[in-house]
Structure 1
């Protein structure tokens, strides 16, 4: 099932790139494996996938320990400061930094471990109360503050768009984040690179790609519906 789903998702990505006049190499598919068993991740791995996403720090740590070490783990969930220690040497990219407090806590852990961390700043473009992330107008100020932390490297922006029946409803969300990334990139801030735009999930990743997403986070479309009772 997983391999068949991956073929469909890959074809959808290819078609979206064609529509947008983009090269397929510009888009990274992150297979979101949260709550899913190791066996399903192994099936995707055997198919050739190496980029996986988790939203719970401890779950990422547990899977990291038992799966091949060439997997690139993305942390995409809300990160509590007391859980940073579980992912700091394991996640290749932290997608969900939304405060200076969290950034400073990650910096502190990096100093302790003598390592560095690549991060994305999370923006709540739609300003949904149920979601984490900054307002568009507050993002630049936080980027400037975080840029001064020498062990953290800002690689771009991330957003979680609203759940909608029609993905077209989220097009303006993705367009706004893309424009913000261009505006921040134009300021040439030291230690800030706007090359990553993490946006789009199972319901709307094709629209996100058309609007400039470099990383799409697809879970249900690959692994099927989640059973949250198992965690």
Structure 2
């Protein structure tokens, strides 16, 4: 009897979260529709994802390729899936093959992974794949992401050298505790301005994916158009215990 209570809590949490997203968007002078909420469902069972889907949500994110390729085929095809983790080049083909409704890869942080994605998309003949370039705004060696000073070069490579990818914007994770300060977000805003100037893209057409459970409201207020929230909706992560 405990499981339905947990699943009901996720739907309640989703509605409360969407209300907070809407309020933050209004404070930034935008509509709620201008901000996409990616419900990050890593380590969560399909039954729980389905409850949130049945409540009307359609955009979900996963961090781990193996978990992703196991889950996605068992869920409705109209889900807009985002890959939000660190993607290894040797996992690219299996991810694209198993998830034909993959809408976006958030986290292209070097030319090698961009090239692998470009080739894989071409080989399976699917429509161009939207990608975000990940920028390391906190300067931590443990975090993925291109250095801000190298952001423009990577954006140019994706835009001009990867015809099967659609450069859609920039993404960052933030500080050690996965919350960000305005300074982190300002770095990404500056990167966007420089990248858009370099490739002739309108700033308002370049997405910013910044903000997670602990900082999504601040991120939205500073212009984020995509926030990635997991534990606030689904509860704490449930990692397997080490033997």
Same fold (TM over 0.5): yes
The answer for unaligned runs of 5 or more in structure 2 is 1-8
Q: Residue 5 of structure 2 aligns with which residue? A: none
Asked if structure 2 preserves the Cα contact closer than 8 Å seen for 1:17 and 1:209, the reply is yes
Q: Residue 183 of structure 2 aligns with which residue? A: 172
Scaled by the length of structure 2, what TM-score is found?
0.88
Partner Cα separation in structure 1 for residue 63 and residue 177 of structure 2:
21
Deviates more, 1:116-125 or 1:170-179: 170-179
Moved over 4 A (4+): none
Partner Cα separation in structure 2 for residue 83 and residue 97 of structure 1:
13
Q: Does 1:159 align with 2:209?
A: no
Asked if structure 1 preserves the Cα contact closer than 8 Å seen for 2:104 and 2:129, the reply is yes
Asked if structure 2 preserves the Cα contact closer than 8 Å seen for 1:154 and 1:194, the reply is no
Query: Structure 1 residues 58, 210: CA separation in 2 closer, same or farther (over 3 Å shift)?
Result: same
Shift of 1:172: 1.6
Q: Residue 118 of structure 1 aligns with which residue? A: 130
Aligned residues: CA RMSD? 2.0
Query: Structure 1 residues 213, 230: CA separation in 2 closer, same or farther (over 3 Å shift)?
Result: farther
Alignment match of 1:149 (pick from 152, 156, 162): 162
Scaled by the length of structure 1, what TM-score is found?
0.92
Q: Does 1:211 align with 2:222?
A: yes
Question: Residues 1-231 of structure 1 correspond to what in structure 2 (within 5 A)?
Answer: 1-88=9-96, 89-115=100-126, 116-147=128-159, 148-164=161-177, 170-189=181-200, 194-229=205-240
Partner Cα separation in structure 2 for residue 117 and residue 52 of structure 1:
16
Asked if structure 1 preserves the Cα contact closer than 8 Å seen for 2:78 and 2:101, the reply is no
Asked if structure 2 preserves the Cα contact closer than 8 Å seen for 1:156 and 1:193, the reply is no
- Number of residue equivalences: 228
Cα deviation, 1:158-209, whole Å, max 9, x if unaligned, reads 00011449x5x5122112212321221133348x995211110000000000
DSSP-derived class of the 1:137 partner: helix
Shift of 1:230: 6.8
DSSP-derived class of the 1:228 partner: coil
Asked if structure 2 preserves the Cα contact closer than 8 Å seen for 1:75 and 1:95, the reply is yes
